[in-house]
Amino acid sequence: MKPPLSSIGPFSVPGGAVHVCPIRAAMTSTYRAFVDKLSVMSRFNRFHSLGYSNHDSLIKRLTDVDQISHVALAAFVDQLPGLMIAEARYLIDERFHAEWAVAVADEWQRKGIGRRLSSILLRHAQSHHVVRAWGLVQRENRSMRSMARRLGFTQRYYPRDSTLLLVERVL
């Protein structure tokens, strides 16, 4: 078994140097603050629901990850210590297919952070024998659709919900 991820970076984006680290259970309050600061639309795009509330059980599930079958990364910018600006994660199923998700704080969007963080995450998934990555994207979320396309994901309608697209990529 390969060792878990440790701190990655930095990489530069407009506005500063970004460091990436694995999300840990001790980051619950940091992750909650990140989600709480997302705009209503960004939360909707991430969680596919307008009714999102940061219940403790959801926050715990998204921060208390094993970094093996559920790998989650957080991005921080040097100029704002302790302020999480993005997350990317995957969750592996029994077929070694991984559900992929990413979110970037509103003021840090369109700077390449989501793409860079996803690239790191997808390379890690590939090196750990994940064979396919997939995710659900709101049809109206043009930025995410464009990023997924640049990352090599194909897009098709999701038969269970006409407001979503299924994006997928062989790794």
* Residue spans per domain, the chain: 8-170
Q: Cα separation of 72 and 113, whole Å?
A: 15
DSSP bridge partners of 18:
11, 77
**Residues found in the chain:** 171
The rounded mean pLDDT for the chain is 91
pLDDT of 53 reads: 61
Q: What is the share, in percent, of the chain residues with pLDDT greater than 90?
A: 80
pLDDT at residue 100 above 90?
A: yes
Residue 3 pLDDT level (bands cut at 50, 70, 90):
very low
Q: Cα separation of 15 and 79, whole Å?
A: 8
- b/e map of 34-71 (b: 16 or more CB within 10 Å)? bbeebeeebbbbbbeeeeeeeeeeebeebbebeeeebb
pLDDT of 149 reads: 98
Q: In CATH, what number does 8-170 get?
A: 3.40.630.30
The predicted model scores a pTM of 0.91
pLDDT at residue 9 above 80?
A: no
pLDDT tens, position by position, 51-84 = 656 678 888 999 999 999 999 999 999 888 889 9
Q: For residues 53 and 43, is the Cβ–Cβ distance under 8 A? A: no
Average pLDDT value for residue range 113-131: 95
pLDDT tens, position by position, 10-43 = 888 888 899 999 999 999 999 999 999 999 999 9
pLDDT at residue 1 above 60?
A: no
Element (H, E) at 24: none
